[in-house]
């Protein structure tokens, strides 16, 4: 039980790195005039790949066969990508917020969805086997 706060802290640190990757790629692509959907998909994908590797090996300390976890992780992140893109479009076109503010709010929503999904669905068996329930 005591390890749970450490998982959250590690998840936050990994998330900060992922967010940096995501925002950097998104900003570069947006400034190049790449379509919003393409910029979001590419930047989010870069963050997702980094996230899986760091969360599996460091945050939740996964070992062994990971294909089932990767499939669940990709499914979770596809759903999260869909939600964040919908939020980006809504905030930018309907609320007329600046694009980077839209991206920031969508990223916060993404963080919550991903931590809960990662902890309870993707890496739950790892955490339980390490004595973290």
- The confidence band for 53, taking pLDDT boundaries of 50, 70 and 90, is confident
Give the per-residue pLDDT at 64.
58
Lowest mean pLDDT among 14-18, 72-76, 111-115: 111-115
* Mean confidence (pLDDT) of the chain: 84
**Nearest in space to 112 (alpha carbons), one of 70, 74, 72, 84:** 84
- The confidence band for 29, taking pLDDT boundaries of 50, 70 and 90, is very high
Instruction: Output the six-digit token pair for 10.
Output: 């590690």
Q: What's the N-to-C CA distance of the chain in angstroms?
A: 6
- The rounded radius of gyration (Å) of the Cα atoms in the chain is 15
Q: Which of 31-35, 50-54, 121-125 has the highest mean pLDDT?
A: 31-35
Give Cα 98 to chain centroid, integer Å.
22
Give the per-residue pLDDT at 27.
93
């Amino acid at each position: 039980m005591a390890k749970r706060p450490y998982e959250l802290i590690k998840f936050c640190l990994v998330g900060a790195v992922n967010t940096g990757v995501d925002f950097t790629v998104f900003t570069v692509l947006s400034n190049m005039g790449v379509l919003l959907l393409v910029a979001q998909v590419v930047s989010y994908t870069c963050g997702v790949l980094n996230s899986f590797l760091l969360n599996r090996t460091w945050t939740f300390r996964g070992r062994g066969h990971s294909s089932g976890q990767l499939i669940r992780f990709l499914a979770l992140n596809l759903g999260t990508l869909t939600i964040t893109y919908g939020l980006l479009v809504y905030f930018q076109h309907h609320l007329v917020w600046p694009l980077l503010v839209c991206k920031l709010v969508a990223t916060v929503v993404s963080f919550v969805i991903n931590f809960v999904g990662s902890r309870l669905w993707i890496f739950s068996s790892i955490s339980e086997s390490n004595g973290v329930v």
